[in-house]
């Protein structure tokens, strides 16, 4: 039996790899874990059958036998716990990798989500243009701290882990903003993540969903 994840039937990012199933696909590819995908429409995401899997009506979900998970962080941690290349077995590096997963999701991503809100949901508001620099500056604070910590290192700790997978995935949301280019070592770090064969396979798989439909 192989796990089944859900993904957008028609991703709003047109297959650019920013939907959150990409993060799970990437982890599954790193772990060499085959998986099935069930596509879900926007309408179906708000219906009872999907809400039973994901109470917040989002994708991805993860089903493996009678285990049902939601939240990319939780799904990726679950996958990583079965694969030492994503999560070291030794207590200390394991805990450090998990720390970076949470840092990506709870410290770095919230101001980036705020930029998505400002650019997409509130873009028609009269204050949108005036507010945007404030939002971007809050992202710069985090990028500067991350840049300082990263320095010349290849990954956040000694070796690539699920922490890097999550951090790179979160930072990729900034590709269109130009903000990454202000921090060359962070941009290079993101590029190293994208260059991984597992990332490339995952990217191609999610893009195919879009192109098959188009």
Binding site for a second copy (CB under 8 A): 51, 55-58, 66-67, 69-74, 77-78, 91-92, 95-96, 98-99, 101-103, 105-107, 109-110, 113-114, 117, 121-122, 125-127, 130-131, 134, 138, 142, 145-146, 148-149
Q: How far apart are CB 13 and a second copy at their closest, in Å?
A: 18
Q: How far apart are CB 97 and a second copy at their closest, in Å?
A: 9
Q: How far apart are CB 51 and a second copy at their closest, in Å?
A: 7
- Of 148 and 159, the one with the shorter C-beta distance to a second copy is 148
- Of 95 and 191, the one with the shorter C-beta distance to a second copy is 95
Rounded Cα–Cα distance for residues 87 and 130 (Å): 42
* Parallel, antiparallel or unpaired: strands 36-40 and 4-8: parallel
- Of 130 and 212, the one with the shorter C-beta distance to a second copy is 130
- Of 36 and 137, the one with the shorter C-beta distance to a second copy is 137
Written as six digits, the tokens of 22 are 């990409």
Q: How far apart are CB 113 and a second copy at their closest, in Å?
A: 5
| Residue 181 CA neighbour count, 13 Å, CB half | 4
Q: How far apart are CB 213 and a second copy at their closest, in Å?
A: 27
Rounded Cα–Cα distance for residues 196 and 181 (Å): 20
Query: For residues 69 and 75, is the Cβ–Cβ distance under 8 A?
Result: yes
Strand-pairing partners, residue 5, are 37, 62
Q: Reduced to 3 states, what is the DSSP secondary structure of residue 52?
A: helix
Rounded Cα–Cα distance for residues 30 and 203 (Å): 12
């Amino acid at each position: 039996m192989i796990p089944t994840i859900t993904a957008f039937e028609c991703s709003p990012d047109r297959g650019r790899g920013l939907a959150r199933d990409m993060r799970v696909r990437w982890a599954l590819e790193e772990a060499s874990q085959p998986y099935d995908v069930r596509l879900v429409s926007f309408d179906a995401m708000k219906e009872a059958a999907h809400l039973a899997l994901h109470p917040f009506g989002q994708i991805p979900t993860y089903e493996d036998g009678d285990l049902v998970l939601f939240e990319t962080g939780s799904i990726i941690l679950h996958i990583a716990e079965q694969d030492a290349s994503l999560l070291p077995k030794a207590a200390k590096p394991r805990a450090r990798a998990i720390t970076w997963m949470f840092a990506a999701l709870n410290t770095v991503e919230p101001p980036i989500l705020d930029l998505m809100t400002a650019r997409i949901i509130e873009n028609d508001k009269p204050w949108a243009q005036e507010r945007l620099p404030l939002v971007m500056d809050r992202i710069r604070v985090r990028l500067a701290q991350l840049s300082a910590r990263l320095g010349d290192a290849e990954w956040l700790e000694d070796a690539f882990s699920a922490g890097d997978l999550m951090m790179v995935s979160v930072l990729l949301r900034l590709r269109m903003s130009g903000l990454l280019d202000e921090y060359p070592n962070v941009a290079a770090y993101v590029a190293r993540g994208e260059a991984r064969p597992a990332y490339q396979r995952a990217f191609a798989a999610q893009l195919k969903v879009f192109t098959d439909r188009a």
